Structure 1
């Protein structure tokens, strides 16, 4: 007989381990649902995914995509462009206008145009023309070079009878004779260019050229509205705005056209109240004023057909859905409904036919399709190790810092901070007068940072942080050195404090325990990013993960090597690429166009970034001349026995190879 031992089951002891970090916490932290919907999200692996077709297609794992590109020897930093997002943006704007027109029974149509200045790169313009063709989506040119692009990229109508259904070409910007002649002659090809008058003198020129060529122009006038914009571009409106005509100037244009029996050529009213309009109330006010100007021009006898509401449709960079300058408190449908209702109300009240509506929403179309990916090269962290116990032999100032560190608590942390600052300053003063040695100063600084670290941990638990401790988070933050140039790839971040969403594209199922700012690889103190999106205003540090060190190699004298850590800067498709500069001669980066396929994705286009030789040629250096100079210098060094033949060959090989390489660093 076998005896059995009965046991009493006991509940497991409660775990003391902190709860695991979840991807939902990363979603909330980086606000990806706010700014990324419907294109960006986080998958179960903790990687950022992109859904280029929005709600209507599959998704790609950004981390796996970047790893695949690196295996193809496409180095970082790189810009990913998703042309399917461009198609989706055009579809959404046109669908919103279709819904608005149906809702209000608006008796005319919508024709969108893309302002080329937003991003002039060929593959983007080609894609927009292709995706916009079903909607008769046109282009807007703000300069003579952009006019050259538009005329060659838009397909003209095959016959004059089809011209009415042709995509529009809006001709903005300052114009000379050649500009106006080219635009007018394009009508013979089947294009439908509308020359928008920015200055009264342009009307005189347009009349003269029209009469000489025997081609009637389609003219528009750009109005300087009194409605004041908001945000960085609020000064785009008003009497002293850079572009457009005042009301007296518009009347002068009308009279001038009437005098030569060409008033029927005036068919469009255009206005622009600035880029990135964050408040819907400003749009409503502008639409009310512009609609009244439109109907009054029609009453004066102008053959009004079009109302161009310009750009301004905002992008929610911080995901807060507020009227903060990096956000917007409306969606596309709200915007469209306010445009349509204001125009319809004014026209019906004045018994004027409702116009074809035009918008120039460049930022809202192009921003989402580009993602900048860059890697972290190294970090500079505040020392976090616990200080060694004090010795009675140590200097009084060091003993004071030690006692301060020991006594820090939630009850006295604010007072302790000021004590630590005072003792540190005294230690530096004593060092400067020779009363402390280098080791003692190092010990004092270690204790000071230990005090700050302990105080910061307490601050993070408080509902309110005292004003004198607000900067402590930034002072204690790490510096993450990233393989990019702010001046080349994110110039608005540096020049006008534009906020872009930035976050790791992997490890999002881990808690980001570091707080850091980003420093680029240019030799410029402005080459950094220390302003990041937040639900409330702006935060000065970004939550990041510590770098993971790879196992040491056989030769332990080598510096530590870390796993790749990739960050993404999102909503980068508008203005950044074309406005980048060559600070420190960091050139254009690699650009990869990705298109979705039934089996995943394909690389539609690869635009290789600049090599060092190419960048040097931009500043009038010839790579062959430089190489020849180096050869001569090495020959002289050989002759003087200052270097060996092997050393000279290694130097020349490295020099020549570097000229052919990417301007950025290898990691």
Structure 2
């Protein structure tokens, strides 16, 4: 076995994932098989809160910590419901997210004390949804301004509200051509002084930092974060309602950590930098907000595949043909060259060889880099698993939609807190795919 992660454990010849035996699942439900393990979500949330609590106590930070879940990481209702069971706030990225949040409110699944952080470009529909939700007073909506024009467009629709709208301000932290988000630091103070403070309909409560690489704890990350903290320090004296620092970006999961780093140490470094900077400037230390998507759900996801065949090469590793597609199930593997933990789930003590996993499509990119896997046994099935796949993959590949080379979506199982397994979605039938291709052709325009 070549995986050394806390979520995986060897049990004789087979693999356990979160303590769950995997072979019985593929025997009962077939493959390919997608798994979502809900209890691990709450475990991640609890762990992050304990790390922040310890770091804040160590630095005499007397404020609060607010855990926020990013809906874009996975919007599956079973996951969102699990997140809300652990008293989390939500981060939205568009109008459909807001429709989901409104549905949760209507179903009394979202308490009124929850914050809704609204990131992303504010389209007309998105802005309208924010303003309507704010006017309802059902939750605390916090539009996070990405540009000054968003402030102007909000102003046109919110001036008649009885209660001021709470706003966040995203500080630009990167300078390459694709890092388009946020307001430049040298424009922040004049914008707030000249436009935000005089606006009676709004109050600035949050400064938002976001680094594309997430909270990796590197010196470069801390230098960039220091610049955002400096913006907070400059704004706090003129914005008495400003009391939140949103750290943005996700905390690395276990297998993404750089050598020599750990998650609790990263958090300690952040809290230490914040409290030290604020005290040096005699400014109140803000409450902390995080927006954790990947960290929350990555370890809750897995895919199981059967190796259908082996194809040898004159040179190089063998090809292991699986019964699905790497491209359509895990698009980050080819789009971003992301590495997911990979391991056989049976025949773990068998002789091994280096093999590349290949998918069913005719695309040359439909493969996964070589792994040390058991030899394909004669007359017996070999299954492999891809783990920590719970974030972003269904959104990128299109949940329930058409896939490259018409590869159907896998059967999807959900495991709850009592280790009960339920079918969340059956294997995608050809009839559904064909119906999608027909579109509305059967309904003529009047």
TM-score, length of structure 1 as denominator length: 0.62
Q: 2:35 aligns with which of 80, 84, 94?
A: 80
Contact 1:274 1:312 in 2 (8 A): no
Correspondence for 2:95 among 129, 137, 144: 144
Q: CA deviation at 1:621?
A: 6.6
Q: How many residues are treated as equivalent by the alignment? A: 436
Query: How far apart, CA to CA, are the structure 2 residues paired with 1:49 and 1:493?
Result: 24
Of 592, 616, 619 in structure 1, the residue corresponding to residue 434 of structure 2 is: 616
Provide the rounded CA distance (Å) in 1 between the counterparts of 2:150 and 2:191: 10
CA distance in 1, matches of 2:233, 2:411: 49
The residue number in structure 2 matching 1:122 is 77
Deviation at 1:141, TM superposition (A): 0.3
Deviation digits for residues 553-591 of structure 1, max 9, x if unmatched?
A: xxxxxxxxxx11100001101111111151011132211
Deviations 1:146-189 (A, max 9, x none): 1222333368999xxx96xx222101111134423422332334
Match of 1:202 in 2: 150
Check the 8 A contact 1:157/1:190 in 2, yes or no.
Answer: no
C-alpha contact (below 8 Å) 2:133/2:141 kept by paired residues:
yes
Aligned-residue Cα RMSD (Å) equals 2.6
Q: For 1:471-510, list aligned pairs within 5 A.
A: 475-510=315-350
1:295 aligns with 2:233: yes
1:585 corresponds in structure 2 to: 406
| Structure 2 alignment gaps of length 5 or more | none
Instruction: Tell whether 2:116 aligns with 1:169.
Output: yes
Give the equivalent residue in structure 2 for 1:61.
21
Separation of aligned partners in 1, 2:225 and 2:199: 31
Residues 31-75 of structure 1: CA deviation (Å, up to 9, x unaligned): x22xx21x21112x1211123xxxxxxx222223332xx2xxx33
Aligned 8 A contact 1:76 1:374 in 2: yes
Relative distance call for 1:220 and 1:363 in structure 2 (3 A) is same
What is the TM-score when the length of structure 2 is the normalising length?
0.91
User: Does 2:375 correspond to 1:546?
Assistant: yes
Relative to structure 1, the CA distance from residue 345 to residue 154 in structure 2 (aligned partners, 3 Å threshold; closer, same or farther) is farther
CA contact (8 A) 2:216 2:266 kept: no
How far apart, CA to CA, are the structure 2 residues paired with 1:217 and 1:253?
17
Aligned mates of 1:239, 1:548 — CA distance in 2: 51
- Mapping 1:274-423, distance limit 5 Å: 274-276=212-214, 278-301=216-239, 303-317=241-255, 321-322=257-258, 329-382=260-313
Aligned counterpart for 1:111 among listed residues 62, 66, 71: 66
8 Å CA contact 1:156–1:189 kept in 2: the answer is no
Residue 359 of structure 1 aligns to a residue in which SS? Answer: strand
SS of structure 1 residue aligned to 2:62: coil
Which structure has the larger Rg?
1
Quick check: 1:259 aligned with 2:198?
Answer: yes
User: 1:261 and 1:376 mapped to 2: Cα distance?
Assistant: 64
Distance between the aligned counterparts of 2:217 and 2:67, measured in 1? 22
Structure 1 residue 212: Cα displacement: 3.0
Tell me how far apart the structure 1 counterparts of residues 108 and 434 of structure 2 sit (CA, whole Å).
Answer: 44
The whole-number CA distance in structure 2 between the counterparts of 1:374 and 1:268 is: 45
Distance of 1:124 and 1:207 partners within structure 2: 34
C-alpha separation in 1, matches of 2:211 and 2:307: 39
Q: Which has the higher strand share?
A: 2
Structure 1 residues 529-540: aligned runs within 5 Å: 529-530=368-369
1:125 CA displacement: 1.1
Q: Flag the 1:240–1:589 CA change in 2: closer, same or farther, 3 A.
A: closer
Question: Whose RCO is larger (CA < 8 A, sep 6+)?
Answer: 2
Instruction: Give the direction of change, closer, same or farther, for the CA distance of 1:154–1:47 in structure 2 (3 Å limit).
Output: farther
Which residue matches 1:606? Answer: 424
Shift of 1:278: 4.4
Taking the aligned partners of 2:267 and 2:41, their CA distance within structure 1 comes to 19
Change (3 A) 1:246 1:78: same
Distance 2:416 2:198 in 1: 54
Q: How does 1:631-642 map to 2 (within 5 A)?
A: none
CA distance in 1, matches of 2:108, 2:367: 49
Distance 1:297 1:240, change over 3 A: farther
1:95-106 correspondence runs (5 A): 95-106=50-61
Deviation at 1:305, TM superposition (A): 1.3
CA-CA distance at 1:257 after TM superposition:
1.9
CA deviation string 1:236-258 (max 9, x = no partner): x5686221110243234311123
Answer whether contact 2:209 2:248 (CA < 8 A) is retained: yes
Q: Summarize the Cα distance change of 1:76–1:185 in structure 2 as closer, same or farther, 3 Å threshold.
A: same
Q: Which moved more, 1:265-274 or 1:204-213?
A: 204-213
What is the alpha-carbon distance in structure 1 between the residues aligned to residue 108 and residue 77 of structure 2?
22
